Amino acid sequence: MASLTLLCLPYSGASAMVFSRWRRKLPAWIDVRPVELPGRGARLAEPLRTDLAALARQLAAEQRLAASQPYAILGHSLGALLAFELAHELQALGCPAPRALFACGTAAPSRREGYDGPEWREPKSDAELIRELRELQGTPEEVLANEELMALTLPVLRADFLLCGRYVYRQRPLLRCPLHVFGGEDDRASQEQLLAWRQETQGDFSLEVFPGGHFFIHEHEDRVLGVLAAALEPLRLSA
């Protein structure tokens, strides 16, 4: 029986169901719970959001019950920023702190300068979005060339880039949980930008760097999940 819920927040342009296969790969005591964002997947009919703080407040209200039981939060890229804000919003609602926060594939909230450039604050054109996807090397060329798929994906990606580009870091009381950061050797975030996550918690901190680029969580999935499970294992008996 699962004894710890793992809330998983997706990266830009993705449905949270990118994490669904983790249910088969992680130990049964970890309840992998993908958190779908408005405007995609099962929430396709809902409007896309471009205000990350407002979205975090909405998700906190929705996940309040889940946070009444032992839980951890994980996010990749945009999802990592959202996971950080969600942890703060749940704390503001009086929920227990997460047992752990996993921030993958992005610079720390206080080190966004030079990471999300000023051009991210305005909507990007289709051509710019496709160029960005190509640079991130996570989307096959046949998908980029599929006009139907791109017509569905690009509006989501455009909104998600605005979530990042318009993000404003706010100083608040430190989180009260362990914070584990995962990075890719060839990703955009520098060592300094990854280590700066340490300043966001009074709990333990760790940094693990994996081979690969921005999508190392898929390229080296088994290794990532091994490190994730090992970090959560000490919490199993206390959950």
| Active site (catalytic) residues | 77
Exposure string of 44-53, with b = 16+ CB inside 10 Å and e = fewer, is eeeebbbebb
Angle at 75 between CA 166 and CA 195, to 5 degrees: 80
Calpha distance 221→146 (Å, rounded): 26
SS (H, E, C) 10-27: CCCCCCHHHHCCHHHHCC
In this structure, what token pair is assigned to residue 208? 């693990």
DSSP one-letter string for 50-85: --HHHHHHHHHHHHTTGGGSSEEEEEETHHHHHHHH
